[in-house]
């Protein structure tokens, strides 16, 4: 039986609308670094590791060339959270036309959820969305940051966006077109 999925689109329209989460204590060993070298294998690893239990499947059929195309698109950035050197999660920023930045993907690997890293990563990623234009010559200054999440995502996703100040501007409920589930291994040909 297929269950209906609700998708919420949320936005911020000014940097001052962001409500920052607490920064993890210095001893927590959390740092966030931009992945500046486009690596389809690393991006696919993050996508499958974060989204494997949340039914992220839209990019699974992509060949490496498609992953590289997305990663090399001007205005696209990948920010990775690490805890003591281990990847904990990521946020993908997608610069769009007219000063709009989408948080294309955001999430934590299951072992790192519920520990305060997600709020910090979302805060940091949103701050980088607001200053994205300064890192990409010819891009307009950011005037809007938006994201979507759905009822298949982690149980804290929607609340995390709302706590950071994002406001819902659209809600859609639909029955998804379900495909058979494939292995999510980073090296698979799914």
Using the predicted structure, report yes or no on whether residue 134 has a pLDDT greater than 70. yes
> What's the mean per-residue pLDDT of the chain?
90
Higher pLDDT, 182 or 140: 140
**Is 85 or 184 the better-scoring residue by pLDDT?**
85
pTM of the predicted structure, to 2 decimals? 0.90
Does 72 score more than 70 pLDDT?
A: yes
Q: Report pLDDT for 184.
A: 46
In this prediction, residue 187 carries a pLDDT of: 44
Per-residue pLDDT at 115? 87
Across 25-32, average pLDDT: 86
Average pLDDT for residues 58-63, to the nearest whole number? 93
What's residue 7's pLDDT?
Answer: 94
Other Cβ atoms within 10 Å of 119 Cβ, number: 20
pLDDT of residue 49 exceeding 90, the answer is: yes
Residue 159 has pLDDT above 60, yes or no: yes
List the domains of the chain with CATH numbers: 15-142 (3.40.630.30)
Interval 91-100: pLDDT, tens: 999 999 999 9
């Amino acid at each position: 039986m297929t269950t209906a999925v609700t998708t919420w689109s949320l936005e911020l329209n000014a940097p001052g609308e962001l409500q920052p989460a607490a920064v993890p204590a210095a001893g927590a060993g959390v740092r966030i670094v931009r992945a500046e070298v486009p690596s389809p294998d690393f991006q696919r690893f993050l996508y499958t590791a974060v989204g494997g239990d949340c039914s992220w499947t839209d990019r699974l059929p992509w060949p490496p060339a498609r992953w590289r195309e997305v990663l090399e698109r001007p205005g696209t950035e990948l920010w990775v959270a690490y805890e003591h050197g281990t990847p904990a999660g990521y946020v993908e920023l997608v610069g769009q036309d007219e000063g709009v930045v989408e948080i294309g993907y955001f999430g934590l690997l299951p072992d790192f959820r519920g520990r305060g890293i997600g709020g910090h990563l979302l805060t940091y990623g949103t701050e980088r969305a607001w200053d994205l234009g300064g890192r990409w010559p010819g891009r307009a200054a950011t005037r809007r940051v938006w994201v979507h999440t759905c009822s298949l995502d982690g149980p804290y996703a929607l609340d995390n966006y709302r706590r950071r100040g994002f406001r819902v501007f659209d809600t859609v409920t639909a029955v998804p077109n379900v495909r058979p589930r494939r292995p999510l291994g980073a090296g698979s040909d799914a």
